Amino acid sequence: MSGTTSDTLDIDPPAFERVRRLLRARAGIELADNRQSLVVARLMRRVRALGFDGFDPYLDLIEHDEPECTQFVSALTTNVTDFFRERHHFEALADLAARASKNVPFKVWSAACSSGQEPWSIAMTLKATSDAPPTWKVLATDIDAEILEKAKDGVYPVEQAAAVAPELKAAHFSPDRTGCYLRVRDALRSRVFFAQLNLLGDWPMKGDFDAIFCRNVLIYFSPENRLTVVRRLTARLKPGGVLFLGHSEAVLGIPSELTPIGKTAFRRTGAQA
């Protein structure tokens, strides 16, 4: 059995393999075989809070308890992001929006939005692009329900917004009474829509996108799932649309419909140049 009577828990190999299988099945994430200590650190508090003395009864629970399984995925999901991370992608987005048709809504999907810095950066970029289509919106999705709520809140410590230019900060954030936190203003909020979504599950949204950001999440997938997701993302791009991937992601077998246009940026071949 996975457990001890001390303040810490141990996880035996069979229980660790169950964790790996569950995480793979629910989120497509491949957990390395040397991550036992991470699993213990991330899950131990929840196991104790539920009154279990080991991992086996906890894993029995999450196999049939959907809310608890969501907690499980949230605990093991790494969320690392920042405003305007890989700034060259936002410069490319501004250029794409400036050249887009002014008569068609411009749509961007942040496909692993984490705590929200990416979709808010996308929205600030489009708002600041004077030649962008007047009608635009951003869809922000993530598998982690807990982190998605933080993204929706749009409230960040001041130091986390250090990468935001002063003029953008003044235009799109309001400080709280203490001056320690910034809140995204309503005018920007009206353009960003949040939804929980598993990239390996169904994609219920309608229509295609002018740009898709899917950065620093594919590295956690198996090569097969990585390629599957990239192909599905490509199919949801408009002709001439751009897919932005993370700088650390090496995707094997980029679909032939995608043409590299810069560092980890790929345009779907089509009418728009």
Cα-only R_g, the chain: 20
Rounded Cα distance between 54 and 15, Å, is 10
Q: How far is CA 196 from CA 25, 169, 201, 205, 218, in A?
A: 17, 27, 11, 11, 17
Residues (pLDDT < 50) of the chain are: 1, 4-6, 271-273
Query: Collapsing DSSP states into helix, strand and coil, what is residue 112?
Result: coil
Distance (Å, rounded) from C-alpha 107 to C-alpha 133? 10
Q: Which of 10, 12, 24, 42 is catalytic?
A: 42
Q: Is 142 a catalytic residue?
A: yes
pTM over 0.75: yes
pLDDT of residue 214: 95
Structural domains in the chain plus CATH codes: 13-76 (1.10.155.10), 87-268 (3.40.50.150)
Active-site residue among 18, 20, 26, 142? 142
Q: Is 7 a catalytic residue?
A: no
